[in-house]
Amino acid sequence: MATGTLPALSIGPIALDTPVVLAPMAGITNTAFRRLCREYGAGLYVSEMITTRALVERTPETMRLISHHPSESLRSVQLYGVDPKTVEQAVAILVDEDRADHIDLNFGCPVPKVTRRGGGSALPWKRELFAAIVQRAVQRAGDIPVTVKMRKGIDDEHLTYLDAGRIAEDAGVAAVALHGRTAAQHYSGQADWDAIAALKQHVTSVPVLGNGDIWQAEDALRMLEQTGADGVVVGRGCLGRPWLFGDLAAAFSGSDERHRPNLGQVADAFRRHAELLVEFFNEQDRACRDIRKHVAWYFKGYPIGGDARRALAAVSSLAELDELLGALDRESPYNAEGVEGQRGRAGSPRKPALPDGWLESPELSPAQREALIEDESDTRGG
């Protein structure tokens, strides 16, 4: 596939010159990180996963998480839910109160606290439930495009992505995104891009987006060439590297220009991220606690020493952060071997946590249906 010849990605009425979507990541893709990524590149930047029950109950934290900065001209919110009625009510809030321009439904989360409720990557196994959630969300959203993000299935013996893709297409979604791993894989092993290609052949009337193992812009180009997908969804590859979106924009426009920041430029981006977090939380202490988890990602491959890393990972104020960053050797060059490649914890394959008897049938039993509704009343998850 030649670069510079790709058409714009259309997700319903939304046209993206760069066919790139920022994957929702819990605790990461808040408005501060989305704004930072947008400063470097282009695409669609999706919120953290929002629990539908918490949105319907309007918990203060959830209402803050769905907020967008005025600079976010495309407001994208991802919803997680297991009850069609509650999902529909959550969509109604976003649409009727003009809180989103795009809604994504999460059917890909492999985290035990989600899958043990029958949510995330466990849910498409129950085809009727999956169809009901997607259908009611699409119908209630009206002109607001709804997309789904999913995994291959629960494990290699319980693959769901082809059936789910067709069900979502028939329900009227604007696009389908596939992470080429099962829930059992979590983030381990290698993403199955062949599955993305198979889904692209199976779902023909709406865009198919590929997700998994996009660490550099060149990976995105290879994915589209190998799979025929219409765009890419980028998750862990941008951790500590918001400029990846600039690289992707360049790659899709046919340019070989890439960001190769020295340590000073990385420090400036880290400082900007912290500043945006202060604005987001409206609280310096909480913002500094949040930025600590990004230290290892930003400074991966740069020679700053263990003491400096530990100090940055315990920073408590912007003044302290400025002092620590000021002591770094700003001229330390980009080290491709140390910086590039996988980011985030891959973990190891694990047996997914599922509701009792979940795999016995793709149909919901009355007891399972009741338990799903009860479980979603717990608004702590997601």
User: Is there a contact between 80 and 121 (Cβ–Cβ < 8 Å)?
Assistant: no
CA 204 to chain centre: 23
The DSSP string of 111-164 is -HHHHTTT-GGGGGGSHHHHHHHHHHHHHHHTTS-EEEEEESEEETTEE-HHHH
Q: Is 179 among the annotated ligand-binding positions?
A: yes
- Measured CA angle at 162 (ends 159, 165), to 5 deg: 125
The response to whether 70 counts as a known ligand-binding position is: no
Task: Tell whether 158 is in a known binding site.
Answer: no
Rounded Cα gap, residues 279 and 336, in angstroms: 32
Q: Is 238 considered catalytic here?
A: no
Containing 21, the helix (H) or strand (E) segment is: strand 20-22
Rounded-to-integer distance, Cα 6 and Cα 162, Å: 25
End-to-end CA distance of the chain: 38
Question: Is 78 marked as binding a ligand?
Answer: yes
Catalytic one of 37, 109, 238, 288: 109
- Which H or E element spans position 208? strand 208-211
* Residues annotated in a binding site for FMN: 24-26, 78, 149, 179, 235-236
The binding site consists of 24-26, 78, 149, 179, 235-236
Q: Which residues does the annotation mark as catalytic?
A: 109
